[in-house]
Structure 1
Amino acid sequence: MKKLLFFIFLLLLFSCKKEIKETLDNNYYKKARICRDSKHSDSAFYYYNLAKNEYLKINDSLGVGNSLVNMALIQTDKGDFYGGIESSFEANKFLRRENDSIFRNRLATNYNNIGLAFHFLKDFEKSSFFYIKTLQYIDLTENKLLCYNNIGDVLISQQKYGLAKIYLEKAYLTQNSTTLSKVINNLAKAKYLDNKNYDPLPEFNRALKIREIQKDSIGLNSSYETLSTYYLDKDKNLSLLFAEKMLTEAIKNNSPDDRITALQRIITLDAKNYLNNFQHFNFINDSLQTARNKAKNQFAIVRYDVDQKNAKNQILIEKNFQQDIGIILLALALAITILWYIKRKKRLEQEKEIEVKNTQLKISKKVHDVVANGIYQVMTKIENQQHFNKDEALDELEFVYEKSRDISYEKTDTQGEEKDFSERISETVSSFKNDEVNTYLAGNDSGIWKHLSSKNKEEVYQIIRELLVNMKKHSKATIVSFRFERENDLIRIFYTDNGIGISGDVIYKNGLSSTVSRIETINGEIIFDTKIEKGLKITISFPAS
């Protein structure tokens, strides 16, 4: 189907002859043309979009229309068919002067692009409608004959063979040999499909001969596909031969669509090499879909990163009075917004100050109730007991320490609520780095933590900190690493150190019971690898939402 692109570029080149006389290229448009001619279509699309906005500023509707038509052509050529249709429809809004020959040429190119995009999407009814619409704006006879061929081609896809023959017989008057080869091939196909007793081979071979003489690579592939299809139920060896020729030609002219079509046919005919051909087909098909999806995303980013809506509104402002009113309203809105922002900022600062004071009071009370009272209780036992248990006293002090650490964490968390989560993790891990211990991080970017709730983020933060504290107290490690991965909605944390390790039966007695409990709270799973030669490996996984 890529053969139809010839018509687009024929019309485009024809319409460009008068372009310089009727509209002035801005710098962006010039850059876009250079990129287009050097086949850097992504850059061309970017500059055409910028050129369009410049033309909007000076109310140059032809410049806007030209830019949008070129953007639509690039999108369709790169497989972004719906995007190409959308850009073409937008271009029509600026190409209103249908009696002007320059505008008519742009409209012909534009409607043909819409028809082509629907042809690729296999919406043949809409495709034929827009091809016929194209005819209204074509003034040159030769271009009109080529359009008749395109209409006949899509009518064959609709199995409307009788109507297809009518259009193709009109196209037969062409003096262009490339167009003639298309017409001969399509007309013979329509006659054969309409009447199986008709012998299309002389005409098929005639079209093939013209294309061989002209070295028309795209046309050759069309002939090879036609002949392979014709022989499919008559001579499978010949059908395979032409499919293989099509594949060779498609590789030569770097046409992934034709390679896919050829491989689909070869797979059904060459059972001996089925697996190799099927793998080849999957690779090409996946690569093509990836490239088209990438193109769609790139085009969408370019379109919506630019302030298109404001530019479109500017072209509708025709009177100075309306412009003045708009500026006044904008200034008024801006003033109101600034006043509202100042008041809101002041209110938020006051609320934050009150919140900080309340937090400090809360923490002070907890320090008094938990830490001071706990230490006092231990001191009392030591003072009043002649033979106190040293280990028991140490355990109680450890408990007080843990409680005080919890309070410290709470204070840090309150202060760091607004800090980026990945940054908090980086700072925490880095804080354990010293002359004896090196810490390493991998994969800790903000995208890893996307959609993770604040509550679960806090649990993850405490888990990481507890692993680090446990490392410092017990492992004697000199190298510690954290690696973060995300696959769909599952987050994994890989912890590794080169310390003394830990045996499986003491894991839950080594300060990690709280860690395990936290992981269970977030519906996660923890795996300790204690069988490695040296050090400790821990894998933690949990859902992201």
Structure 2
Amino acid sequence: MKFPVYIFVLFVILSCVDKPESIPSISVNKEYEEAYAYLDAGKPDSAFLRFSQVKDHYQSINDSLHVANCLINMAVIQRDAGDYFGAQETALQANDYLNEHKLDHYPYLNSNFNTLGTISRDLKYYDDALSFFEKTLKYSQDSANLSIIENNIALVYKSLKQFGKADKIFQNILSRPYLKSIEYARTLSNRANARSDHDSSYVAAPDLLNALSIRVQEKDIWGQNASYAHLADYYKEKRSDSSLFYARKQYATALKLKSPDAQVNALRRLIQTGNRDSLQTYFTSYSRLTDSLESARAAAKNQFALIRYEVEKNKADNLRLENDNVEKSARLTRQRWMTGGLFVLIIGGIVGGRFWYRKRKERLELEAQNKIKASKLATSRKVHDVVANGIYRVMSEIEYNEQLDRDSLLDKLDIMYNKSRDISYEAEESIEAPSAYPDVLGELLKSFAKENRLVLIAGNDAALWENVSDQAKSELKEVLLEMMVNMAKHSQATSVVIRFGREDEHLHIHYQDDGVGMHADAPKGKGRQNTVSRIRGLRGEIIFASEVGDGMKIDIHIPIR
């Protein structure tokens, strides 16, 4: 097989097209690690910037899980900086990249819904907080995490003054046999604090001190801060000196934690419980710290917004440069592809033209053969209907008529001769005048009546055939002739009834005899096939109903127009 030369030329043209330059991929592992390093080093703004940059890269490669992780970390940074609404927006955006049907997404869904719950609780949107914490439970995969979430839910119920629900959750957590000591201390202290808020007579000191002891032993500084706060609140109305003692302990712990929020909370308690001499000092520190905290939070919000703006701006600039390079490359590629495409169209036109010419030639030859077959079939059918049926009529008349009319037989044979000659020349069969057609048809049908066979005709009058086309009259005449010939040859009938009628622009013909009938599944001969074909050609319907020994019934319906 020879290799077509035009295929070779096309290969050469397309191989000359420059491949688009691949954009070098950047490794994000280093930037990812830097983001966490900044977070551990207490540089939230730098960490936020790195997470934002890494997130854009993961978006470009459709890595939804890492995009979500970056957004979750960014939301936590915003929440810790006091940008609650910004954190909420970022966390909700992270949910769009997580799939609740994938198990490897569960830890991220758990963390993100917990963040959303904490934000809502800080904003005092307690119903929303409960909803988010409940969703967090759905994706919790270990008991320690479960205890933290349930503690958060119980604290929300405490804020809603639904102490019964809160106490039930705390009790359920404490009943677990393998609860870690830190979680046990957290839950024990929270339960005692909630019970004390609900019932001022409740003695919460033993549980609060037990929880504090565990936290000191476990070196849980944040837990100690919470315990000191609970003890200061508990002794506020009972023993002011003890309340002041624990408030001072909380403030000292908050200074160790370097947490402005914790320091503000401790100073608020010191102002409420401190003596008059130290009150001014505490209030001055409180005012200075709250002002500084509000300024820092406002600056953080602006900083986060600025970082996002700069990242998006750089992203847009890079995208514009990439689009310019892609457009230049695409322009050059289009020019070469247009040249190649034009060549392909020319070759395709030549090949397609040859294929179309060959197919057209085959189609014309097939149509010519089909026309010849159709012509032969039509001629064969005319020979059967005109010549064979006509001869059978003459034979039947000779057989049953003892007094032969020589002139009549010669006339009928002459008619048959002319018809057979017309078939050979494909001449159109002449149609009787409208007024004569019922008489000719009636004479044709009555010619099959014999001494032992009665033929009854009803409804065959001139009005019946008004507006019936010449073609329909001719075809129906041949159909009825075929039916009568078959009756005379096979049925042994002694009575034949043919009833004509018309209704709703339809012509109806009912045929019935009392002959031997036939099986419903009897094979169809050529005559019956021709009969069905003629009726269908008139857009009509023919129905045969017969059983052996029960005669034959035939109904014909054709539209007049």
TM-score (norm 2): 0.50
CA positional deviation for 1:268: 2.3
Residue in 2 that maps onto 1:291: 296
Report the AA paired with residue 252 of structure 1.
K
Q: State the 4+ residue runs in structure 1 displaced beyond 6 angstroms.
A: 308-311
**Residues 1:139 and 2:135 are matched in the alignment:** no
Report the AA paired with residue 277 of structure 2.
K
Residue in 1 that maps onto 2:124: 122
- In 2, the alpha carbon distance for the partners of 1:37 and 1:100 equals 30
| Pairing of 1:75-224 with structure 2 (within 5 A) | 75-95=78-98, 97-172=99-174, 173=176, 175-224=179-228
CA positional deviation for 1:239: 1.0
Q: Residue 144 of structure 2 contacts residue 183 of structure 2 at CA under 8 Å; is this kept in 1?
A: no
- In 2, the alpha carbon distance for the partners of 1:109 and 1:76 equals 13
Residue in 2 that maps onto 1:479: none
Report the AA paired with residue 214 of structure 2.
I
CA positional deviation for 1:125: 2.6
Report the AA paired with residue 74 of structure 1.
I
- CA displacement 1:348-393 (0-9 Å, x = unmatched): xxxxxxxxxxxxxxxxxxxxxxxxxxxxxxxxxxxxxxxxxxxxxx
Q: Secondary structure at the match of 1:99?
A: coil
- In 1, the alpha carbon distance for the partners of 2:82 and 2:112 equals 16
Structure 2's unaligned 5+ residue stretches are 1-26, 332-561
Residue in 2 that maps onto 1:509: none
Residue in 2 that maps onto 1:61: 64
- In 1, the alpha carbon distance for the partners of 2:221 and 2:143 equals 25
Report the AA paired with residue 304 of structure 1.
Y
CA positional deviation for 1:310: 8.0
Report the AA paired with residue 43 of structure 2.
H
CA positional deviation for 1:109: 0.4
Q: Residue 181 of structure 1 contacts residue 207 of structure 1 at CA under 8 Å; is this kept in 2?
A: yes
CA positional deviation for 1:309: 12
TM-aligned CA distance change 1:277 to 1:191, over 3 Å:
closer
- In 2, the alpha carbon distance for the partners of 1:215 and 1:141 equals 22
Q: Residue 131 of structure 1 contacts residue 151 of structure 1 at CA under 8 Å; is this kept in 2?
A: yes
Q: Secondary structure at the match of 2:82?
A: coil
Q: Residue 91 of structure 2 contacts residue 116 of structure 2 at CA under 8 Å; is this kept in 1?
A: yes
TM-aligned CA distance change 1:309 to 1:128, over 3 Å:
farther
- CA displacement 1:139-162 (0-9 Å, x = unmatched): 112211221111112221221111
Q: Residue 260 of structure 1 contacts residue 281 of structure 1 at CA under 8 Å; is this kept in 2?
A: yes
| Pairing of 1:374-413 with structure 2 (within 5 A) | none
CA positional deviation for 1:121: 2.1
Q: Residue 149 of structure 1 contacts residue 183 of structure 1 at CA under 8 Å; is this kept in 2?
A: yes
Q: Residue 196 of structure 2 contacts residue 234 of structure 2 at CA under 8 Å; is this kept in 1?
A: no
Identity of aligned residues (%): 34
CA positional deviation for 1:305: 2.4
Q: Residue 267 of structure 1 contacts residue 277 of structure 1 at CA under 8 Å; is this kept in 2?
A: yes
**Residues 1:280 and 2:266 are matched in the alignment:** no
- In 1, the alpha carbon distance for the partners of 2:314 and 2:50 equals 18
Q: Secondary structure at the match of 2:276?
A: coil
Residue in 2 that maps onto 1:34: 37
Report the AA paired with residue 139 of structure 1.
Q
- In 2, the alpha carbon distance for the partners of 1:209 and 1:30 equals 37
CA positional deviation for 1:25: 5.0
Residue in 2 that maps onto 1:260: 264
Residue in 2 that maps onto 1:45: 48
Q: Residue 116 of structure 1 contacts residue 127 of structure 1 at CA under 8 Å; is this kept in 2?
A: yes
- In 2, the alpha carbon distance for the partners of 1:78 and 1:101 equals 31
Report the AA paired with residue 311 of structure 2.
V
Task: Pick from 75, 80, 83 the counterpart of residue 72 of structure 1.
Answer: 75
Q: Secondary structure at the match of 1:273?
A: helix
Q: Secondary structure at the match of 1:165?
A: helix
- CA displacement 1:101-145 (0-9 Å, x = unmatched): 321100110011111112222323322221122111111122112
- In 2, the alpha carbon distance for the partners of 1:200 and 1:104 equals 38
CA positional deviation for 1:100: 2.2
Report the AA paired with residue 257 of structure 1.
D
Structure 1's unaligned 5+ residue stretches are 1-23, 315-322, 332-545
- In 1, the alpha carbon distance for the partners of 2:64 and 2:95 equals 10
- In 1, the alpha carbon distance for the partners of 2:309 and 2:40 equals 25
Residue in 2 that maps onto 1:424: none
- CA displacement 1:142-201 (0-9 Å, x = unmatched): 211221111112221221111111221222225221111110011122223333333211
- In 2, the alpha carbon distance for the partners of 1:309 and 1:161 equals 52
CA positional deviation for 1:62: 0.9
- CA displacement 1:25-45 (0-9 Å, x = unmatched): 544323212322333221111
CA positional deviation for 1:83: 1.2
Q: Residue 152 of structure 1 contacts residue 164 of structure 1 at CA under 8 Å; is this kept in 2?
A: yes
- In 2, the alpha carbon distance for the partners of 1:267 and 1:63 equals 46
Q: Residue 260 of structure 2 contacts residue 293 of structure 2 at CA under 8 Å; is this kept in 1?
A: yes
Q: Residue 146 of structure 1 contacts residue 171 of structure 1 at CA under 8 Å; is this kept in 2?
A: no
Report the AA paired with residue 251 of structure 1.
L
TM-aligned CA distance change 1:285 to 1:298, over 3 Å:
same
- In 2, the alpha carbon distance for the partners of 1:222 and 1:46 equals 32
CA positional deviation for 1:53: 0.5
| Pairing of 1:322-471 with structure 2 (within 5 A) | none
TM-aligned CA distance change 1:276 to 1:194, over 3 Å:
closer
- In 1, the alpha carbon distance for the partners of 2:286 and 2:197 equals 28
- In 2, the alpha carbon distance for the partners of 1:267 and 1:196 equals 22
Larger radius of gyration: 2
TM-aligned CA distance change 1:308 to 1:152, over 3 Å:
farther
Q: Residue 162 of structure 1 contacts residue 194 of structure 1 at CA under 8 Å; is this kept in 2?
A: no
